[in-house]
Amino acid sequence: MSKYVKQLITNEVKNKLDGVQYIMFVSLTGINANLNKNIRANLAGKGINLMVIKNSLAGRAAEGTPLAAAFKNLTGTTAICWGASDVVALAKELVNLSKGKDTKGFEIKGAVLDGEVFSATQAVEISKWLTREEQISVIVGQIVSIGAMLSGQIISVGGAVASQIAKIADKEGDDKNDETTTAKETKTETITETTTETATVEAGDK
C-alpha cells in the first residue's frame, strides 16, 4: 500500500472518528463473509458502526484524540465499534452478540472511554452499568418520589392546620351560642322580674 493511499485511508478514518469519545474493540476471528455482513447490518440498524482497520492506521487517525491511547498496544486484526446512545448501550449489544450461538468468534477485546483504556474483562463489565435512559429513569423516579413525599407532607400539615382551624371555629361558635343563650336567659329573667314588679305595684295601687 503506497504512502498516498495510506494517508487517504487515515484521513477517512479520522473523519469518521471525529468527536467520538468511546469505542470498543472486537475480534471477528472465524466469522465468515455472510455472517460478517449480517452482524454489520444488525449493528447498523441500532446505530452502531463496525470497521476493521490496521492498528497502525487507526492509531495515526486517532492521534490527538481521547482514543489514541487505546491503539498503542493492540496486536492482530481488530475491529472497532462505536455509536449507540452511549457506551453502555454499545457494550450491551456487543456482549449479547459475543454470547450468541451463531456468532462464535465474535469476541470483546477491550474499550476506551474518555481516554481511559479498559481491558476485555472491564469492557464486558461496562455492559452491566446503567444506560443513559436507565439513569434518567432512576433520576426521574427519585424526583417524583421526593415530590410525592413533599406533597404528602404539605397536604398532611395543611389538613392538620385546617382541622385545628375548624376546631377553633367550632369552639368560637359554641361560645357565641352560650353567650346568646345566656343573654336570652338574662333578658327573660329581666322581663319576668319587671312584669312581677309591675304586677305588684298595680296590686298595691288597687
pLDDT at res. 103:
86
If pLDDT is split at 50, 70 and 90, which confidence band does 201 have? very low
In whole angstroms, give the CA distance from residue 45 to residue 41.
6
Predicted confidence (pLDDT) at residue 100 exceeds the cutoff of 60: yes
| H helix runs in the chain, sequence order | 3-16, 33-44, 55-61, 87-98, 120-126, 132-205
pLDDT at res. 75:
73
Calculate what percentage of the chain has a pLDDT beyond 70.
67
- CA 152, chain centre distance (Å): 23
Give just the sign of the alpha carbon dihedral 107, 109, 115, 116.
positive
Instruction: Say if CB 108 and CB 95 are below 8 A apart.
Output: yes
- 73-87, 91-105, 113-127: lowest mean pLDDT where? 73-87
pLDDT at res. 47:
94
Which of residues 16 and 189 earns the better pLDDT score?
16
Amino acid identity, position 84: A
Map grid coordinates 485511508 to a residue: 9
Q: Mind listing the pLDDT tens digit for each residue in 179-194? A: 565 555 555 555 555 5
pLDDT at res. 202:
52
Predicted confidence (pLDDT) at residue 77 exceeds the cutoff of 80: no
Which of residues 183 and 3 earns the better pLDDT score?
3
**What pTM does this model have?**
0.63
Q: Reduced to 3 states, what is the DSSP secondary structure of residue 18?
A: coil
Q: Mind listing the pLDDT tens digit for each residue in 24-57? A: 999 888 888 899 999 999 999 999 999 998 888 8
Which three cell numbers mark 120?
476485555
Instruction: Say if CB 73 and CB 119 are below 8 A apart.
Output: no
For residue 111, what are the β-bridge partners?
24, 118
Predicted confidence (pLDDT) at residue 104 exceeds the cutoff of 70: yes
Instruction: Say if CB 16 and CB 50 are below 8 A apart.
Output: no
Predicted confidence (pLDDT) at residue 80 exceeds the cutoff of 80: yes
Which of residues 20 and 55 earns the better pLDDT score?
20
> Stretch 100-113: mean pLDDT, rounded?
88
